[in-house]
Copies of this chain bind each other. A is one copy, B any other.
């Protein structure tokens, strides 16, 4: 494919957007046929004399918008856009099922190992309803109006005490900011930091939900490879980025827990380079082996860490409540900007949460869930060990709500996912989480266990193994 965009460094739009627009036009208007292979990132970068990051970001945007697809060990290909009929009635389904339908064939999924599913059979309906109802009464008419733009003070106070106890986070309620989801909270961070710097380093593979936010705010993503114990700090230093997003309690997706030595090194990098660390502790409450390691934020003496957390994994994704702890350097800017932005999280849920934490229900719930998830975690590891044996290697265990299987197979991760799906088992590829996929190496599959019962876990692994057996490598 001959690629000759007219790139202009002095244009208003960044280079990667110009390149993206060029390809989009080629695909939409000039009718580049489906399955046309795009040049490799390295090749295009050399030919056009632009940085690989620029090409990568243009491809990422095309990927995100569905113009191209990435085929492992093969490259990027134009995909045929389906006719979208205006006003057609699509059945409402969460993302997981939607993917099934787009494939065309509807397979009945019996076991869904989705990473973001959590256990609902032990949800404390009665105490949650009680806390919620206390907010909807004539005695609390004030709750009907707009609340504190930063988030309800009472909740921030209870939360700051809990975070200190449970995660070693050192903050007052003044530093806490509430938002309706982690992406909202990350957007605020982008607005607080965007003017000063445009490069952000991310673990690769990393969490696409946050990567999308950075990209939409025109940050340049520096993908930093992982070592066995987490992000490669020398690579981070060399990248020149002054901001880094990490998931040290349970790397997303690979699952390793960042040990204390590396945490100290990372904090040192921040202090020596004027760096800012965004620590996303999304499922930090769930650790099954070893002592919990204190948050980076608590270990830091220099105010270089933004601590981000959420209730979506430990309590309820449906209420949409996440939070962050701002260090002084960002808190000042935030306070000045505060009046410009309405609070996005429901005031009712915030107050219910406040009561829930204050009454002790929250910590009882966490302890209960930790025990339940530990059982499921053990069941999953035992099932994998006894059923799949040495055909797979497990990583990312001992914390969080998912593990990663490295499968001894010549199939790609996407192929293994499809094979599993045809057998009624939904598992997940790590492919969308990479920016710079190392195409060598065995396929990596994510298995979440939060949303399955103990029986479903072992039955699911049984069925998965049966589906994959013909494809295991036997040398």
A84 and B332 contact, CB distance less than 8 A? yes
Verify if A340 is at the interface (C-beta below 8 Å from B): yes
Cβ contacts under 8 Å, A181 to chain B: 342-344
Within 8 A of B (CB), among A143-188: 143-149, 152-154, 172, 174-175, 180-184, 187
Our pick among B20, B195, B331, B343 for the contact of A17 (Cβ within 8 Å) is: B195
Give min CB distance, A192 to chain B, whole Å.
Answer: 11
When distances are taken between beta carbons in the complex, the residues of chain B under 8 Å from A316 are 144
CB of A95 within 8 A of chain B?
yes
Evaluate contact between B147 and A94: CB separation under 8 angstroms.
yes
Give every chain B residue within 8 A of A328 (Cβ-Cβ): 86
A278, B454: Cα distance in complex, Å: 51
A138 to B339, CA, bound (A): 40
CB < 8 Å: which of B12, B88, B90, B128 contacts A136?
B128
Q: What are the residues of chain B within 8 A of A146 when measuring CB–CB? A: 94, 116, 312, 317-318
Over the window 2-28 of chain A, the binary record of Cβ atoms lying under 8 Å from chain B Cβ atoms (1 yes, 0 no) is 000000011011000100110000000
Q: A12-B198, A180-B344, A184-B344 are in contact. Are A65 and B147 (CB under 8 A)?
A: no
Whether B125 pairs with A129 at a CB distance below 8 angstroms is: no
A contact residues, total (Cβ < 8 Å) = 86
Q: What sequence of 0s and 1s flags, for each residue 109-148 of chain A, a beta carbon within 8 Å of any chain B beta carbon?
A: 0000000111011010100110011001110010111111
Indicate which residue in B87, B149, B333 contacts A172 across the interface (CB closer than 8 Å): B87
In the complex, identify which listed stretch (A269-277, A345-353, A388-396, A407-415) lies at the interface while the others stay far away: A345-353
Task: Choose among B9, B133, B333 the residue that contacts A133 (Cβ–Cβ < 8 A).
Answer: B133
> Which of A10, A147, A332, A339 has the most chain B CB atoms inside 10 A of its CB?
A339
Say yes or no: B320 contacts A344, CB within 8 Å. yes
- In Å, the complex CA distance between A345 and B347 comes to 12
- Tell me how far the C-beta of A456 lies from the nearest C-beta in chain B, rounded to whole angstroms: 15
Residue from B92, B136, B148, B320 within 8 A of A345 (CB atoms): B320
Point out the residue from B66, B90, B93, B346 that lies within 8 Å of A318, measured CB to CB. Answer: B346
Distance of A320 Cα from B331 Cα, bound (Å) = 24
Q: Interface stretch among A208-216, A228-236, A360-368, A436-444? A: A208-216
Most buried by B among A132, A138, A183, A340: A340
A320 to B342, CA, bound (A): 9
Query: Closest residue to A128 on the B side, CB-wise?
Result: B136
Q: Is A50 in the interface zone, CB < 8 Å from B?
A: no
Whether B84 pairs with A335 at a CB distance below 8 angstroms is yes
Pair B129/A141 contact, Cβ less than 8 Å: no
Given A153-B92, A180-B320: A120 and B136 within 8 A (CB)?
Answer: no
